[in-house]
Structures are given as structure tokens and as C-alpha cells.
Structure 1
Amino acid sequence: MTVKSANRGVQSAGRDAATSSWLQGLGRGGLIARGVNYILIGVLAVQIGLGTTVRQADGTGALHALAAHRGGAAVLWLLGLGFAGLALWRLAEAGYGRAGPDGHKVTKRLASLGRAVFYGFVCFGIVGFVLGTGGPQRSNDQSKDVTARLMAHAGGRWLILAIGLVVAGAGIAMAIGGLRRKFEEYLNLAQMNARTTTLVQALGVVGSTSRGIVFAVLGAFLIVAAATFDSEQAQGLDGALRKIATTPAGPWLLVAVAAGLITFGAYSLCEARWRKVQPGQPNQT
């Protein structure tokens, strides 16, 4: 067997795995896990706005909320498995392209790779939390610590500024994409009836726009931290949401944004049913 034929065999096996039904199932399971996570964070944020909880409105707070209930450990294991599946699915997209228009573009494949790495870290954090060997750090503490470490190095301030601009830009792009219903490119709309299509579109617009706003706020705080050379200005998800409550609109703006995150969670559950999940199949129906 030649090296070329061996490479072809490896590539063929890799594509078979990437397009397999089990990997697509893992991707759909991962979208369910993402939806549950956003719903929990949104509920905690609503409670913060109403002054009925002291938990963090981030991934760590969501894990503690689940662990406090009977059977929570089992749900946490399922959540970790879901994010592992989401990471593997995104990794397959990075290797073979996304389903949907222009799925083979380098930018989209790199975006899938970045999401794969992120979801992998989320998975390890959940597993560490369940095993009691660690777990995800509070988003505010993590954001401040990383910002301070980077600022301690030459050029770190400019790196923070660049990251802040990227995160804010991504958030704005998410919000605009939500308003323009770009998410429809990745859905099997032909499998829905008219009423379901209308509902999913509404959830996608509200949820994606709200999620984009939160990311834009996170990026803005990083930009402020870089401009003031003060790592304490950086905020994680919980801090960003709490800052929203300090605006002239008061806690009701936070409740509105939190409701949007819950809506995005509900939309993610719809994606688990109707998303095109087979990598490298732009014309999948």
C-alpha cells in the first residue's frame, strides 16, 4: 500500500465518521445541551433582575443550580456529554465544512474550530465540577484574571483591545444576523409546517439578537479595560448582565435581555430538531 493510498483511506474514513448518523446525533444532543445551558443562565438572570437569587448568571451558576436538585448529577453528566458531542461535531465541520451556503469557506471552518475548542473547555469544566476536581471559574473572576495576566506583558493591553473589538464585532454580527434571519440558512425549513416555521423564526430573531447584544456588551467591557489599563473593568457574563441592570432602564432591561437568552435556549432546542448537521453537505435538505 502506497502512502498516497493510505492517505486516501484515512481521509475516506474521516469523512465517513464526519457524515455518520452517530456524529449527527451527537451534534443534535449538543444543541440540546447548549439550549438547556442558555435557558438556565437566562432564568438566573431574570431572578437577579427581580432580586430573588444571589447565584451567578453564568455557566458556573447554572451548574450549581442543577446540582442543587435531585437527580442533578445525572443531568450534569448528560450536559457534559452534550457539550462533548457539540465539540466533536464542530470539529468535523472544521475539517469538512459546514452544512449550508459557503460552508467550505476558510473563515467558517476556522469559526467552527474555535467553537470546538470552546465547547471542549466547557465539557471539561462540567466534568471537573461533577467529579469535584475543579470546575469552571466564575466568569467575572476568569475575565479579570486573564485580562490582568495579559496586561502584565508587553503589548498585552493592545491584545486585550483587539480581543474586545473582535468579541464586540462578533456580538454585533450575531445581532444583525438574527434580525436578518441568517440562521435560516442552516435550518431544514422544508420539514416544518407554516405555523412551526413562524414560531422558529420568531425564536431565532429574538434569541440570536439578544445573544448578540450580550456578546457586544462583553466586548465593550474588554475595550474599556484596555483603554483604562484596568483589568477590573473586564466583566464575565454575570458581570455584564448585572451591569445592564444599572442602566437608566433599571433591572427590567436585564429581565428583557435574560428573557432573550431563554428564547435563544428555546431556539437551540428547535435547532436540535431541524438544523442541518451533516458536515460538508451544502445542499442538504
Structure 2
Amino acid sequence: MLRPRLIPCLLIHDGGLVKTTRFAEPKYVGDPINAVRIFNDKEVDELVVVDIDATVLGREPDYELIKSMAAECRMPLCYGGGIKNVEQIERIIGLGVEKVAIGEAAAHRPELMSEAAKRVGSQSIVAVMDVKKSGLLRRYEVFTHNGAKGTGINPVQFARRAQELGAGEILLNSIDRDGTMAGYDLTLIDQVRESISLPLSVLGGAGSLDDVRELVGRHGIIGAAAGSLFVFKGKYRAVLIQYPAASEKDAIFGITTSRIQE
């Protein structure tokens, strides 16, 4: 039986773990390997790790760090950042990572998704779209390079193309909601969810487990990803890595039990 997933997302910047707000103002929150160990103990559903420097600086993924995280990780691990070709993807999968997230390359060289799916399997390819409202009409647009470069691509168009080219999953990230803890952008999520049949995970804005409950109640089987929710505590945003106990998580997901199907 398929179930929703509750997914911490960790951002790597200058070798450390950070949390951003609207893709800016990175705040140091700890050591990546230590965070992985803590999440192991908390038995999280899945972990997403994104190197936010690699694409912007045009450098290779940090394979040593990826290897270390994969060796520690006792849950499915998805890595993103700096991916340009199939050879990199194969190398990362070979290090023990279950999924590779492709963002900038998926927007500007979408055929990479098809090439990669043929080599490592669709289940290992996650198409990432970082989305914010832009222009006078405030329309949703996919951005790359940590939100600095617009692509002119509508997120529904991006998602449909990713599905056609063989991606196994979509990760939808709201730049406008990133780090705000103001709730998910449900309008954006609705548009993308209705346009594809692929598994969908969403990120950006979760501030409480009530936000997760609302999302799962609305869409059933979905990946509810978050950053701030799992690394900050209280109104002063003190750094504390946390994750709900299994019983608490089941209570959230239980409201859609009748919708969880094969």
C-alpha cells in the first residue's frame, strides 16, 4: 500500500547545512553528517539533500560528501546539485544514493532526463522545478541557479515534459514560500498535481504539522517535504533537528487512509 511521505530537505552551502528564506540569507544550522545521523534515529521516510552551490558555481557534485552521507543514511536518499550529464548520475547512484534530482539541466537540456532514465531507471530520476511568481501579471515561472535565472517555462509545461521524457518523480519547490513557514502554495500544487500522474513531492512553506495535514488531506499520496519545519523550533527559530514520532505521523496520514491505494 502506497502512503504519503514526510521528507526533510537539507541544503548544503560552503560544506555546511543551512536554511534559506526565499532562496536567500542562508543560516547555518549544523553539520550534514550529524543531521543524517539524527534523522536516522528518528526513522524518517526519505531524505533530500541539495548542494545549492554546485550549479551556481559550475562545479562538480561533492562526491566525497555524497559518499559519506549515503554510507550513514538508513533511509532512501535523494541528492541534487551540479548535475549536468548521465555519467555524474551513474556515479552518484553507484555511491548508494537512491534518487538523483535534476533541476537546471532538466529545464535547459530536458533530454538528459530521458537519457538518464534509460541508464539508471526512471525510479531514480527526480525532476526539480523551483517556481516563483514573476512579471507584471505575477505568473508562475520555473527558475534556476537558486532562483536567479528565469526560464520562461510554466511549471505545468515543465511537469508534463518531465513525465513524457521518463522522469520518475517531480519535486516542486515554491521559492516565494521557502523558509517563510507560511504554509504550502496549494494553488501551485493543485495546478501541477492535476497535470501529471507521476509521484509528486512538494517543498516550500511548511510551518507546522497542520500544513502537512492540510496538504495530505487535499492530495492523498504525496511527498510533503520541508526544511525549516524540521530544523527550527519556536518563534525565535532556535536550531533543533526534529521529526514527528511514528504515531503522530500516522495520525496525520490517517485522515486520508481511504484514499491511499496501490
What TM-score comes out, normalization by structure 2 length?
Answer: 0.28
Name the TM-score, length of structure 1 as normaliser. 0.26
More relative contact order, 1 or 2 (CA 8 Å, 6+ apart): 1
Greater per-residue strand proportion: 2
Bigger proportion of residues as helix:
1
